[in-house]
């Protein structure tokens, strides 16, 4: 008889790796704010990897702060000369207390590669996304099947294809001369990591729901680059989350100053304009788009509007409220307004909307979500405000 | 055990040759067993400190990722991995060429000899392979019994303070009563003298002045107080103190014991890094160049040898420093460049031509391998000529430019800096002062300042100690030249306070 042993070492190693991954995810969740504003994600697609630092994944110990001590090295160079292999010298801030990590020789931040999909998944575990409303003809859930379709060398233990694994192992052991089926006293077969085969399944989903995001951005002169950056970052993540929720997600981009126009993805994420502001122009265009292309009984509709809240006139304010009350709110799943604080804007539009809400019935006013984004750090909270409100 | 490949016949033959030559040169080692492994296994074993079976912990997984990545990206390669055990285990990387394998084997025999003979390894367990495996099964059992989260939280805390043991001193001495007796007797003597009828009364005031009696009384009180202190004397072995006095569950006690035991095994390797690597490099260089190098291998050998012994500007390469220092010592003792006569000679030319043909070099470096560690080796044998010749310098961090700069090339400051870095093996010197601080069962630690602690690390480490101790923990230290007290009770209750200078 031949006994099969999976070596302890491999099992231990795999358990450790699994645990490490859990830890990494944990750390990412804890420091979401930093990752959400990490510009290297913006504009990425799906499977492309981004290298991110993992904050705080280390075993702490008492160490002497190297930057207050010194060390001994070997090589050429005059006294006063900088050691090679460092970044350029810091300028301006004299005597600034630089406590940022990773500046010490030999002190490397742990970095891992994550792709956007993984990141979105992690972030959405923390956020509660708004419930999907089943709309449209194709919305009913027909079936959800799992089919074993493929094999892989790695995977959870539970999916191990034992037959194939052993087969591979026997073949390899025979080839390498460790095992001879003819002999009774042949040593036991060892299963190597490379022998393992795991079954992989595909989920076949028949469910379909439709959703459309209508992204509106104020590009008037009072919106500075910083404000636009915030809008883009926030909009980028919102897109990513809703994409996960809906199989078919369409996005319409609208920019406006005194006039509104529909633009494509590229322009929306790049444009810098200037001029005055008539918010109603965007809302009117929004209504027009919905009427023409996205009948509310078939589509989940999520308009988002970003502005510094500096509207041109109170007449226009009134027009906006009218558009919202009469068409947009009754026909959308949720209307989200984010006001980005800017140096120049009056920031009054938020108050206008809040006052308008008081006069609405609860069902309608619940659909209007307002959030104030003061700076980059506020992005995540704002996203949470928009997306947590299940309806 | 691991599914290691036996050595191919050719390598086995070479192994026998190298082993024979090494013994002829005077090296003395335990039996050494070589395994050949593909890199995926080698990196995994290396991540676990060289042991195929160790307790499971995510930090090993992290280490593995790092090693694997640096290998896959061609940035680093593990040349040798050898375990201080009887028999010694050593691993060879499967895809290395024959010349490299020979080099590694020669290098390994150097280490094996060092493990067997250097005095700092005398107390290390030579059966650690089995012991580590036992530890692993015990930790596994606790994980099954109490859950991974619980056990891991405790492991994290223990590992984070594992360096705070006391490898060079004897196990904690109990408080000696002698001091106490001394003062008590002294006081008695004083009183006796007073009551001695032969002494005239007026002498009393001179013999036993009021101040003197008060001083003695105070001394006595202090001794009594000291004896009531807990621990009676400051303790360096924090782990041992916690093991004895922290409110631990049985399994926690065992885990703390395991961590401490493994640390005691590993720590001699930490403070003999320079001399151990130097010694092994000395031997691979000697054996290879004198006996085992074919002419066509010379270039490759030179590449690998110089790669291992490359200069790093930011960090001393222990291989290089050890190797060159041992060669320097051998050379000096061969030529008789030591002793009073040499030290007092002021003529440069005379010194350059100095050669008494004593031939004591080999004997001397064998003595070094027997009794020195990194600190003592540098302390005794690092000379000014050596520093010049090897272009050593001291560097510091310049706060203004945010860069590391060469700050000094004078011999004294280089040597002082190096010794400072090697003292206590680079671990901050922390003592347990009081286990019942302010009579509240809080732990009071004192940092014998060799440099400011990194604050974020210090807080996290304190939180780990508090987790084990289950009461608030205090750490006395200096920050920017001021005496400070870190006090940690919980994440929301931690503060850094100024401390008055007290005697």
With a cut of 70, say whether residue B196 has pLDDT above it.
no
As a whole number of angstroms, the distance between CA A339 and CA A307 comes to 5
What is the ipTM, given to two decimal places? Answer: 0.81
Asked whether residue B419 carries a pLDDT value surpassing 70, the answer given is yes
- The answer to whether B18 and B108 have CB atoms below 8 angstroms apart is no
Which of A145-149, A227-231, B194-198 is the least confident region?
B194-198
Q: What is the pLDDT of residues B247-262, one digit of tens each?
A: 999 999 999 999 999 9
B298-308 helix and B273-287 helix, angle to the nearest 10 degrees: 170
- pLDDT band with cut points at 50, 70 and 90 for residue B159: very high
Query: Poorest-confidence range of A36-40, B341-345, B447-451?
Result: A36-40
Looking at A195-299, which runs of residues are DSSP E strands? Answer: 198-205, 210-218, 248-256, 260-263
* HSE of A262, CA atoms in CB hemisphere, 13 A: 11
d(CA B19, CA B31): 10
pLDDT band at A102 (very low <50, low <70, confident <90, very high): very low
Alpha-carbon gap, residue A281 to A286, rounded angstroms: 9
- Which A-chain residues 181-200 have CB contacts (< 8 A) with chain B? 190, 192-193
What mean pLDDT comes out for the span A248-270?
86
Mean pLDDT of B116-139: 92
Position A46 scores a pLDDT of: 60
Is residue A130 over pLDDT 80? no
- Residues B434-456: b if buried by 16+ CB within 10 A, e if exposed: bbbbeeeebbbbbbebbbbbbee
Task: Give A54's contacts in chain B (Cβ within 8 Å).
Answer: none
pLDDT above 80 for B386: yes
* C-alpha–C-alpha distance, residues A3 and B122, integer Å: 41
Query: In the prediction, which pLDDT does B182 show?
Result: 56
Note whether B161 contacts A61, CB cutoff 8 Å: yes
DSSP secondary structure letters along B13-34? HHHHHHHHHHHHTT-----EEE
Distance from C-alpha of A41 to C-alpha of A49, rounded to nearest angstrom: 9
Distance CA B151, CA B343 (A): 59
Residue-level pLDDT at A257: 85
Which comes out higher in pLDDT, residue A391 or B341?
B341
Q: pLDDT higher for B324 or A149? A: B324
Task: Work out the pLDDT band at A103, boundaries 50, 70, 90.
Answer: very low
A71 touches chain B (CB under 8 A): yes
Band of residue A32 on the pLDDT scale cut at 50, 70, 90 = confident
Residue A87 pLDDT greater than 70, yes or no: no
Model confidence at A137, pLDDT cuts 50, 70, 90, reads: very low
Please indicate whether residue B19 or residue A177 has the higher confidence score (pLDDT). Answer: B19
User: How do residues B67-78 score in pLDDT, each as one tens digit?
Assistant: 887 777 766 666
- Identify which has the larger pLDDT, A341 or B330: B330
> Looking at the partner chain, which of A16, A73, A86 has a beta carbon nearest the beta carbon of B61?
A16
What pLDDT score was predicted for residue A128? 56
The whole-model pTM stands at 0.74
Measure the CA–CA gap between B442 and B465, rounded to whole angstroms.
Answer: 11
**Cis status of the peptide bond prior to B231, with omega within 30 of 0:** yes
Contact of B486 with B478, CB cutoff 8 Å: no
Higher pLDDT, B193 or B444: B444
Which one is predicted more confidently, B421 or B175? B421
- Return the residue matching tokens 């923990």: B473
Q: What is chain B's mean pLDDT, rounded? A: 86
Q: What is the distance, to the nearest Å, from the Cα of residue B405 to the centroid of all Cα atoms in its chain? A: 27
For the residues B275-282, what does the mean pLDDT come to?
95
Q: What is the pLDDT of residue A180?
A: 80
Half-sphere exposure of A333 (CA within 13 A, CB side): 28
Candidates B132, B405, B422, B431: best to mutate against A (most CBs of A within 10 A) is B405
- CA-CA distance, B71 to B90, in Å (whole number)? 19
CA pair distance B421, B476, nearest whole angstrom:
21
Q: How far apart are CA B61 and CA B68, in angstroms?
A: 10
Q: What does the buried/exposed string (b/e) look like for B16-40 if buried means 16 or more CB atoms within 10 Å of the residue's CB?
A: eebbebbeeeebebeebebbbbebb
Asked if A175 reaches chain B (Cβ–Cβ under 8 Å), the answer is no
Q: Do B314 and A193 touch (CB under 8 A)?
A: no
User: Which helix (H) or strand (E) segment is B427 a member of?
Assistant: none
Out of A20, A76, A101, closest to residue B61 by CB: A20
pLDDT digits (tens, 9 = 90+) for A104-120: 434 445 677 777 777 77
Q: Is B170 left (phi over 0), alpha (psi -120 to 50) or beta?
A: beta
CB atoms within 10 A of CB A245: 16
Mutate to test the interface with B, among A64, A100, A103, A109 (most CBs of B within 10 A): A64
Chain B residues in contact with A20 by the CB 8 A cut-off are: 58, 61-62, 65
Residues 6+ apart with CB under 8 A from A391: A130, A131, A133, A333, A334, A366, A367
Chain A residue with Cα closest to B55: A12
B331 pLDDT higher than 90: yes
pLDDT mean across residues, chain A: 77
Question: Which class for B96: exposed (0-12), middle (13-18), buried (19 or more C-beta within 10 A)?
Answer: middle
**Could you give the strand order of the β-sheet that contains B473-479, starting from the edge strand earlier in sequence?**
B429-437, B442-448, B473-479, B482-490, B493-498
Q: At what angle do helices B361-371 and B98-117 cross, to 10 degrees?
A: 70
Q: Do B393 and A66 touch (CB under 8 A)?
A: no
The pLDDT-based confidence of B283 (bands split at 50, 70, 90) is: very high
Could you give the percent of chain B with pLDDT greater than 70? 88
Structure confidence at residue A47 (pLDDT): 63
């Amino acid at each position: 008889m031949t006994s099969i042993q999976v070596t302890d070492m491999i099992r231990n190693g795999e358990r450790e790796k699994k645990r490490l991954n859990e830890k990494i995810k944990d750390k990412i969740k804890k420091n979401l704010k930093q990752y959400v504003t990490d510009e290297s994600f913006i504009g990425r697609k799906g499977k492309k990897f981004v290298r991110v630092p993992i904050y705080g994944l280390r075993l702490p110990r008492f160490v002497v702060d190297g930057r207050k001590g010194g060390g001994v090295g070997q090589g050429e160079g005059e006294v006063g000369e900088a050691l090679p292999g460092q970044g350029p010298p810091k300028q301006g801030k004299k005597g600034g207390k630089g406590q940022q990590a990773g500046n010490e020789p030999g002190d490397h931040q742990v970095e891992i590669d994550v792709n956007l999909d993984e990141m979105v998944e992690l972030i959405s575990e923390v956020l509660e996304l708004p419930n999907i409303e089943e709309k449209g003809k194709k919305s009913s859930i027909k079936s959800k099947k799992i089919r074993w379709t493929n094999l892989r060398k790695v995977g959870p233990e539970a999916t191990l294809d034992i037959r194939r694994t052993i087969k591979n192992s026997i073949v390899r052991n025979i080839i390498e001369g460790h095992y001879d089926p003819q002999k009774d006293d042949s040593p036991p077969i060892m299963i190597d990591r490379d022998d393992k085969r795991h079954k992989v399944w595909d989920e076949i989903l028949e469910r379909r729901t439709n959703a459309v995001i209508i992204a509106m951005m104020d590009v008037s002169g009072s919106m500075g680059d910083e404000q636009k950056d915030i809008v883009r970052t926030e909009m980028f993540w919102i897109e990513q989350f809703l994409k996960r929720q809906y199989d078919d997600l369409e996005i319409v981009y609208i920019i406006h100053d005194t006039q509104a126009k529909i633009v494509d993805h590229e322009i929306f994420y790049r444009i810098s304009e200037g001029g005055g502001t008539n918010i109603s122009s965007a809302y009117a265009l929004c209504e027009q788009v919905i009427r023409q292309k996205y009948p509310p009984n078939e589509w989940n509709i999520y308009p988002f509007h970003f502005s510094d809240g500096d509207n041109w006139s109170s007449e226009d304010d009134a027009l906006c409220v009218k558009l919202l009350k009469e068409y947009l709110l009754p026909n959308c799943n949720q209307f989200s307004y984010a006001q980005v604080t800017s140096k120049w804007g009056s920031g009054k539009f938020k108050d206008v909307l809040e006052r308008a809400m008081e006069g609405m019935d609860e069902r309608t006013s619940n659909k209007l979500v307002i959030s104030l984004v003061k700076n980059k750090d506020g992005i995540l909270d704002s996203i949470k405000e928009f997306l947590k409100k299940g309806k | 055990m691991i599914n290691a490949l036996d050595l191919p016949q050719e390598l086995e033959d070479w192994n026998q040759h190298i082993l024979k030559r090494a013994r002829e040169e005077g090296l003395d080692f335990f039996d050494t067993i070589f395994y050949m492994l593909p890199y995926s296994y080698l990196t995994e074993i290396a991540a676990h400190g060289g042991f195929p079976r160790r307790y499971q912990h995510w930090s090993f997984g992290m280490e593995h990722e790092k090693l694997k990545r640096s290998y896959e990206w061609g940035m680093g390669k593990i040349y040798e991995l050898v375990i201080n055990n009887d028999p010694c285990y050593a691993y060879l990387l499967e895809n290395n060429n024959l010349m490299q394998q020979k080099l590694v084997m020669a290098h390994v025999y150097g280490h094996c000899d060092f493990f067997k003979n250097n005095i700092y390894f005398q107390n290390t367990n030579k059966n650690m392979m089995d012991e580590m495996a036992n530890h692993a099964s015990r930790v596994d059992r606790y994980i099954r019994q109490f859950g991974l989260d619980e056990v891991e939280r405790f492991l994290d805390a223990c590992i984070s303070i594992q360096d705070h043991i006391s490898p060079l001193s004897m196990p904690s001495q109990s408080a000696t009563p002698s001091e106490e007796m001394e003062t008590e007797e002294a006081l008695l003597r004083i009183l006796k003298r007073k009551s001695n009828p032969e002494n005239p009364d007026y002498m009393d005031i001179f013999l036993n002045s009021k101040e003197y009696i008060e001083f003695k009384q105070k001394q006595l009180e202090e001794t009594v107080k000291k004896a009531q202190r807990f621990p009676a004397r400051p303790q360096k072995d924090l782990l041992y103190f916690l093991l004895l006095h922290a409110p631990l569950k049985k399994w926690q006690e065992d885990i703390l014991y395991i961590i401490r035991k493994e640390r005691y095994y590993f720590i001699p390797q930490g403070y003999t890094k320079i001399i151990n690597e130097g010694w092994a490099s000395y031997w691979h260089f000697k054996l290879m160049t004198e006996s085992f190098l074919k002419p066509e291998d010379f270039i490759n050998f030179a590449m690998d040898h110089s790669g291992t012994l490359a200069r790093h500007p930011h960090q001393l390469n222990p291989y290089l420093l050890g190797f060159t220092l041992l060669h320097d010592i051998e050379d000096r003792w061969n030529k008789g460049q030591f002793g009073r006569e040499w030290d007092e000679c002021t003529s440069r030319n005379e010194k350059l031509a100095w050669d008494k043909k004593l031939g004591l070099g080999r004997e001397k470096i064998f003595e070094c391998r027997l009794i020195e560690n990194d600190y003592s080796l540098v302390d005794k044998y690092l000379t000014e000529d050596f520093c010049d010749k090897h272009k050593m310098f001291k560097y510091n961090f310049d706060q203004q430019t945010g860069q590391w700069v060469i700050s000094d090339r004078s011999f004294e400051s280089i040597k002082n800096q190096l010794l400072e870095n090697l003292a206590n093996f680079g671990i901050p010197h922390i003592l347990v002062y009081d286990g019942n601080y302010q009579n509240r069962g809080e732990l009071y630690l004192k940092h014998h300042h060799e440099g400011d602690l990194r604050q974020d690390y210090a807080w996290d480490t304190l939180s780990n100690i508090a987790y084990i101790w289950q009461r608030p923990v205090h750490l006395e230290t200096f920050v920017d030249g001021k005496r400070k007290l870190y006090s940690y009770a919980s994440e929301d209750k931690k503060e850094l306070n100024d401390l008055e200078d007290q005697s």
